[in-house]
Amino acid sequence: MIDNERENSKKLERAYLIGFRSQLESETTVEEHLDELSELVRSLELDVCGRSTATVRLPSPALYIGSGKADQIIAAAKEAQASCLVFDSPLSPSQQRNWEHRSKLTVIDREEIILDIFGERASTREAVLQVEVARLQYYLPRLTRAWSHLSRQHGGVTGARGQGETQIETDRRIVKRELTVLRKELAEVRSRRSVQRRERERSGIVCGAIVGYTNVGKSSLLNALAESKEVYVADKLFATLDPTTRRITLGGQQELLLTDTVGFVRKLPHSLVEAFKSTLEEAIESDFLMLVINLAEPNFEQQWETTLSVLRELGAEEKNILMVFNQIDRVPPDELPMRMIRARSLFPDAVYVSAKTAEGLDALRLKLALYAGRNRQVIEIKLPPARADLAAFAHARTTVLEESCDEEGNFKMRLSADEAIVHKFNPFLCK
């Protein structure tokens, strides 16, 4: 039945947006949040037919706002011929039911919109599992919305309750059982990802994670740096849900691994943060973060605040962060100087690039080379002729600064190598 409700939600045509403003928020902030909600809604191919805002001093348990204001909003929505109400703030299951009973319209909140978008974008098994876990956790307390036959009773059987049980109780048991199965399968997928991560760590290559707001061009930037077109890119929210790792060559035998992670958004539901923990762990376990911000966004500072709040929730806000402002080609020329002044006042060492035109990519590669070289040591080794294999390894995985061969055929080499692989040369270090 949940799947039927989901299909019905996709057939909705006209959405009326509703935002609540606390006394600490400005009207401008609420309007910006509704602008983003509008973009989220349109990505599900729903038309936005209007919007309303309401100031909330103390949230009401029944409707979040007073009944009088609620009736005004419902009247405005029906005048706009809305087929659903979309709330920017999370609603409790009871509030959601009360709005539906009062308006006779379908009621959706931001979390459900994001869940539907994630459901459409998920492609790999891991992403599908993560989205389905989050979706079932969301729908479990809302099952009463999915059934019109709640009073139906199953007859009692031996060992069951004498009066039978309601259909909703049966459905809850089914959903909980499905959640258990999905979580078990997801744990197995996460275990495999953990093995892959340990293998990368043993390779000794510095690993970075690309993080940032959704649709700021993270995947395009990874393609540009890797000189590849393999990472999926699209001008839409949450185009990439699955982490993609690419090896980046920086010259001087320096390499690093960069992983593109799922994008963030304001009010990202905690259930999704929790469900995508294994994906976002790429940010936690990385050596550094490359935080990408869209300079073409007028209020780009809010993108930074949103990303930082998610990183705090993950425990990754203290990592070394390389700030990158992307999409400088999309900033109006007369506004570019002032936006760069604002950006530099916050992040003096940031890099400014365009993944589309390649402007600034050389400067970014130089910055990345510094990060790749932070864990490197300069050592001198002497290899016997029989260890030509180790000499070849040195050429492939280190920067050979000096090299010579003595009369006995020994290879003498001065290397700049990552700390993680220096141990391979320990028996041959020059004293």
- pLDDT for position 10: 45
Task: Give the three-state DSSP class for 25.
Answer: coil
Q: Tell me, what amino acid is at 112? A: E
Tokens of residue 226, six digits: 């890797």
**Distance between CA atoms of residues 125 and 186, nearest Å:** 9
Query: What are the angstrom distances between the C-alpha of 204 and each of 58, 201, 279?
Result: 54, 6, 21
- pLDDT for position 148: 40
277 pLDDT above the threshold of 70: no
Contact 208, 368 (CB under 8 A): yes
What are the structural domain ranges in the chain? 2-118, 132-141+148-187, 203-372, 376-428
Q: How confident is the model at residue 271 (pLDDT cuts 50, 70, 90)?
A: low
Which of 87-101, 197-211, 229-243 holds the top average pLDDT?
Answer: 87-101
- pLDDT for position 14: 92
Q: What is the sign, positive or negative, of the torsion defined by CA atoms of 305, 310, 314, 319?
A: negative
> HSE of 110 in the Cβ direction (CA atoms, 13 Å)?
22
- pLDDT for position 252: 60
**Distance between CA atoms of residues 166 and 188, nearest Å:** 34
List pLDDT tens digits, range 342-392. Answer: 999 989 999 999 999 999 999 999 899 888 776 677 889 999 988 988 988
Tokens of residue 170, six digits: 């049966």
Task: Name the packing angle between helices 2-10 and 125-139 (round to 10°).
Answer: 100
For the chain, how big is the Rg over CA atoms in Å? 27
Task: Name the packing angle between helices 277-285 and 300-314 (round to 10°).
Answer: 100
Which of 204-208, 226-230, 321-325, 407-411 holds the top average pLDDT?
Answer: 321-325
> HSE of 245 in the Cβ direction (CA atoms, 13 Å)?
17
Which of 153-167, 201-215, 348-362, 389-403 holds the top average pLDDT?
Answer: 348-362
User: Phi, psi at residue 191, to the nearest 5°?
Assistant: -60, -40
- pLDDT for position 400: 82
- pLDDT for position 2: 46
Task: Name the packing angle between helices 218-226 and 361-372 (round to 10°).
Answer: 80
Helix (H) or strand (E) segment spanning residue 282? helix 277-285
Contact 412, 380 (CB under 8 A): yes
9 pLDDT above the threshold of 50: no
Beta-bridged to residue 380, according to DSSP, are 414
Counting every residue, how long is the chain? 431
- pLDDT for position 12: 52
For residue 315, how many other CB atoms are within 10 A of its CB?
A: 10
What does the pLDDT average to over 49-60?
A: 92
147 pLDDT above the threshold of 50: no
Same CATH fold assignment for domains 2-118 and 203-372: yes
- pLDDT for position 364: 94
Q: How confident is the model at residue 161 (pLDDT cuts 50, 70, 90)?
A: very low
Domain spanning 203-372, CATH architecture:
3-Layer(aba) Sandwich (3.40)
Q: Of 357, 329, 347, whose CA–CA distance to 290 is shortest? A: 347
Task: Give the three-state DSSP class for 14.
Answer: strand
What does the pLDDT average to over 261-288?
A: 68
Our separate counts of H helices and E strands in the chain read 15, 13
Q: Of 216, 306, 324, 313, whose CA–CA distance to 270 is shortest? A: 313
Contact 39, 86 (CB under 8 A): no
Please determine, looking at this structure, whether the domain spanning 2-118 carries the CATH number 3.40.50.620: no
For residue 381, how many other CB atoms are within 10 A of its CB?
A: 24
First to last CA, the chain: 73
Contact 183, 277 (CB under 8 A): no
Q: Calculate ∠ Cα 183-184-189, nearest 5°.
A: 90
Average pLDDT, the chain: 80
List pLDDT tens digits, range 68-79. Answer: 999 999 999 999
- DSSP assignment of 153-200 equals BPPP-TTS-TT--BHHHHHHHHHHHHHHHHHHHHHHHHHHHHHHHHHH
145 pLDDT above the threshold of 70: no
Query: What are the angstrom distances between the C-alpha of 82 and each of 5, 13, 50, 105, 397?
Result: 18, 8, 8, 8, 61
- pLDDT for position 351: 95
